Chain A
């Protein structure tokens, strides 16, 4: 009996420890391939060259254009998702009746459950043609519509995490504000949002991390032209799109071109890893404690 218990505990432990192997595996794969890459391409070139043309005859390995494309689409997505998502969070928390909130929350979650390839189709075939009717020089592939659609996708992420943070503000603070004669608007922006600011910040950081790693929407709608620009109307290429582009082609395994996807991958990984850990840190450090 006791032996059996021990064996079972051991098996359960092993299942949990596998997750550590996954992390180690990710870091090992990214590091080993990119170290070989960086033995042929200098890190300085990688970080400062303004061109990314590994698949052309004249090769340049500057990651900046891909990073710029990634940050541009992310910035557009956040500027759509943040105001809308935060407004929804405040509205649902302080204005909406409880029944309405209970029905609308799962409906908003639908937005997050739709496969991203579907959003990509939407961006390319609906949003871009629609925007072109009043922005005539908008290219067929552009970061604007990809970013907007990505923003719609991450609305529920910001709204639900921020709403959780606002709900966690103790009732006494809210009632205190109402008791002083504050309107719901004043209570929301004068008391609740400041009190919940660390939780809201965490939701924004996680949304940024999600947008940076998003692949199919940008691969379909934002184009495949690495370009160091802040112009949302022209085609760009994100880090993730580049990895997809190379994976679809027939780049021989073990070549320098093949290794570029791991160098791009580790750049992406560093971004999301830093953002995720920043969000843990904020959550730990600024956890509001009311008693």
Chain B
């Protein structure tokens, strides 16, 4: 083989390897999803969604878990969305040059890299003990809200950054104040991007188990929570609990609950991708 033939062979070989690598992850994912569907799909029925937890696998349901998940999502959104968007607006529109803004930026990137379980330790001490909220829904929601903040702030900033200077200048030229410009021009124009980030943060929060285990969310909660101060469990913790049991019937339950959890995650991500595409197409400056 001549040198150039060898080079061409290497080139082709790497191309094959590249295709292999690109698909290997997706193939593994497909194998896994099919496996889960085979294991769990037959277990999902109306009763599985509406039954309380039970020691007997075939009578156990995910009612308390999905109600808990819903509560957590709503409560943490109420806290994280306004805070995150406001912080993003501040950093992008007001505090661009100041030293504190620089520090805030480094700080937020650092927070984004803190493992979720550390947020759990923070929530356990601050919300659980100092605020006296114990292992309640509120503790869990506040903890997850802090976890979501960096994601929302970063995407809000990117969305605002994409709004061109000319829109702002035009608004100022018409006599609008800074806040009027932000509220009537910049935020509506960047709405799609902000919403995408918010939904991605939600999809991240819905799958979190570790920080909630640390703050003291229980695996076994006999009744669905009815107020923010009640004890709770969420879908990922219920799944974790079922996986840890030796009986095969509980593994089937876990697979069924995973299908529900993945469904929620995929729907949220799907909405985010859809919004991003729609928004990118619509807004042409």
Contact = CB atoms under 8 A, between A and B. Distances in A.
A88 B83 contact: no
Contacts of A83: 21
A248 B58 CA distance: 24
A114 to B, nearest CB: 7
Contact of B83 (A15, A26, A124): A15
B206 A215 contact: no
A273 B110 contact: yes
A280 B106 contact: yes
A146 interface: no
Interface string B1-14: 00000011011001
Contact of A265 (B22, B117, B254): B117
Interface residues of A, number: 82
A121 B243 contact: yes
Interface in A118-134: 118, 120-122, 124-126
A238 B230 CA distance: 31
B90 A84 contact: no
Given A19-B104, A91-B15, A115-B261, A272 B121 contact: no
A240 interface: yes
B194 to A, nearest CB: 14
Interface in A97-122: 104, 106-108, 110-111, 113-118, 120-122
B114 interface: yes
A105 to B, nearest CB: 10
Given A26-B114, A88-B21, A213-B115, A16 B177 contact: no
A145 B213 CA distance: 23
A276 B209 contact: no
A220 B240 contact: yes
A121 B255 contact: yes
A16 B121 contact: no
B39 to A, nearest CB: 8
Residue of A1, A8, A12, A214 contacting most chain B CB atoms (<10 Å):
A12
Interface residues of B, number: 86
A269 interface: yes
A5 B110 contact: no
A18 B210 CA distance: 23
Nearest to A83: B21
Given A183-B11, A216-B240, A209 B22 contact: no
B111 A240 contact: no
Nearest to A101: B22
Interface in B251-280: 251, 254-255, 258, 261-262, 265-266, 269, 273
B25 A12 contact: no
Contacts of A184: 11, 14-15
A212 B118 CA distance: 12
Interface in B1-59: 7-8, 10-11, 14-15, 17-19, 21-22, 24-26, 28-29, 31-32, 35-36
A74 to B, nearest CB: 12
Given A114-B207, A214-B115, A215-B116, A26 B122 contact: yes
Given A115-B236, A185-B10, A16 B126 contact: no
A255 interface: no
Nearest to B109: A280
Contacts of A113: 203-204, 265, 269
Contacts of A108: 22, 25-26
B7 A16 contact: no
Contact of B207 (A18, A117, A265): A117
Given A15-B87, A19-B150, A115 B269 contact: no
Interface of B: 7-8, 10-11, 14-15, 17-19, 21-22, 24-26, 28-29, 31-32, 35-36, 82-84, 86-87, 89-91, 94-95, 101, 103-104, 106-111, 113-122, 124-126, 129, 146, 149-150, 153, 177-179, 203-204, 206-210, 213-214, 216, 219, 236, 239-240, 243-244, 251, 254-255, 258, 261-262, 265-266, 269, 273
20 contacts: A5-B179, A15-B82, A15-B84, A16-B87, A19-B87, A22-B111, A88-B22, A91-B14, A92-B18, A115-B265, A116-B209, A125-B243, A188-B14, A213-B115, A219-B210, A243-B120, A243-B121, A243-B214, A265-B117, A272-B114
Given A30-B118, A121-B36, A280-B106, 19 more contacts: A4-B179, A12-B86, A12-B90, A12-B94, A17-B104, A19-B104, A19-B149, A91-B19, A92-B18, A108-B22, A117-B207, A117-B243, A121-B239, A121-B243, A125-B35, A184-B14, A213-B116, A215-B115, A276-B113
Interface of A: 1, 4-5, 8-9, 11-13, 15-20, 22-23, 25-26, 29-30, 33, 83-84, 87-88, 90-92, 95-96, 104, 106-108, 110-111, 113-118, 120-122, 124-126, 152, 155-156, 183-186, 188, 206, 209, 212-216, 219-220, 240, 243-244, 247-248, 253, 261-262, 265, 268-269, 272-273, 275-277, 280
7 pairs of A and B residues whose beta carbons are closest in the complex: A213-B115, A115-B207, A91-B18, A15-B86, A12-B90, A215-B210, A276-B113
